[in-house]
């Protein structure tokens, strides 16, 4: 399929590069480093070769979210956003941008989101999970009360918010001790992000701000498969849910969330997601440079779905969600 749009596609600046070290073996690091720094070279060549018209670019992880000093986090976010805006300006027909945000301080995050959306023309924000603020052990999740003014601005700006994974901090990750292979994209990324998303759904956030649009990668971090069980465990016991939200969790998942195919190139999983959330809320992505463009594109172009769904997932859903210019 020609004209695909991807929206979990990463880059790095020198300040954040080493956050991606360790995700590949040492002998592959030079290649990953080159991929992270490149925008207009090999990345664009691969896009041309595999039918990708556009990438919406975002900073690598955890980057800003792991900087415990809020002032420093804000400085790095602004530096990354300014650099990305400069790169997008060179080829706006091929690249657009997500803002990095210093979520350690909700007021700073509001100001940076407004700057990025209004002054730099970005298409939303991508945030790498929880933020550590003032102490490495102080992990902030965005259902917490201090973030609700931030979400009010997100809704006002109609800015899609991509909740991207990061690993849990070491003191909260005892279950992975001795099993480091489970960290990162194998398992911990998805579990950490799924719980964060469920916290948002259960908090009442979407009752207060029903226009919020949240994006999850990797075909929904396992949530489509579990959504029925979340709402129907022990269904014979008639009790009021213990969360603050007014409706079923699945209602918010169906109405406020979009999913991408990033780093999860399996047709069975795609079909499960389509059955749960609908093909109008799924979007193509590759997860470059951590996954290959060819692996994503070759799979998607031949996946056993209808051509109408392929066009929606590959292109038109992204155009609608991110207000990209239609041809």
Nearest one of 69, 67, 60, 71 to 24, comparing CA atoms? 60
235 backbone dihedrals φ, ψ, rounded to 5°: -65, -20
- CA-CA distances (angstroms) from residue 19 to 43, 78, 111? 20, 17, 25
Which entry of 287, 294, 298, 309 is annotated as an active-site residue?
A: 287
The secondary structure of residue 92, as a DSSP letter, is: T
d(CA 160, CA 150): 13
Nearest one of 111, 208, 77, 211 to 156, comparing CA atoms? 211
149 backbone dihedrals φ, ψ, rounded to 5°: -60, -35
Q: Do residues 55 and 6 lie in contact, with contact meaning Cβ atoms separated by under 8 Å? A: yes
Residues, the chain? 327
Alpha-helical regions (H) of 142-266: 148-157, 188-202, 205-208, 223-232, 249-256
d(CA 196, CA 191): 9
Q: Do residues 5 and 52 lie in contact, with contact meaning Cβ atoms separated by under 8 Å? A: yes
Active site includes 287? Answer: yes
Q: Which residues are catalytic?
A: 287
């Amino acid at each position: 399929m020609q004209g695909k749009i991807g929206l979990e596609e990463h880059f790095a600046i020198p300040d954040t590069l080493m956050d991606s070290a360790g995700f590949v073996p040492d002998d592959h690091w030079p290649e990953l480093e080159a991929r992270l720094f490149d925008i207009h070279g090999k990345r664009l060549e691969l896009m041309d070769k595999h039918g990708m018209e556009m990438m919406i670019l975002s900073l690598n992880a955890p980057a800003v979210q792991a900087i415990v000093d809020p002032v420093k986090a804000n400085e790095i976010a602004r530096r990354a956003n300014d650099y990305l805006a400069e790169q997008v300006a060179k080829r706006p027909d091929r690249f657009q941008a997500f803002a990095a945000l210093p979520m350690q301080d909700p007021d700073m995050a509001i100001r940076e989101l407004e700057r990025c959306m209004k002054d730099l023309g970005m298409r939303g924000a991508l945030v790498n999970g929880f933020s550590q603020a003032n102490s490495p052990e102080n992990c902030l999740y965005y259902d917490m009360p201090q973030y609700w003014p931030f979400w009010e601005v997100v809704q006002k700006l109609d800015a899609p918010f991509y909740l991207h994974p990061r690993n849990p901090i070491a003191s909260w990750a005892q279950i992975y001790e001795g099993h480091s292979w489970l960290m990162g994209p194998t398992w911990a990324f998805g579990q950490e992000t799924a719980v964060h998303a469920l916290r948002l759904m259960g908090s009442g956030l979407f009752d207060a701000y029903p226009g919020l649009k949240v994006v999850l990668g990797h075909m929904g971090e396992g949530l489509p498969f579990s959504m029925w069980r979340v709402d129907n465990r022990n269904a014979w016991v008639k009790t009021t849910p213990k969360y603050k939200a007014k409706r079923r969790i699945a209602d918010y998942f169906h109405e406020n969330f979009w999913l991408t195919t990033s780093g999860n190139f399996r047709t069975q999983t795609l079909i499960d997601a389509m059955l749960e959330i609908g093909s109008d809320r799924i979007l193509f992505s590759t997860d470059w440079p951590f996954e290959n463009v060819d692996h994503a594109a070759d799979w998607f172009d031949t996946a056993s779905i209808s051509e109408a769904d392929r066009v929606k997932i590959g292109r038109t859903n992204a155009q609608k969600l991110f207000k990209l210019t239609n041809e």
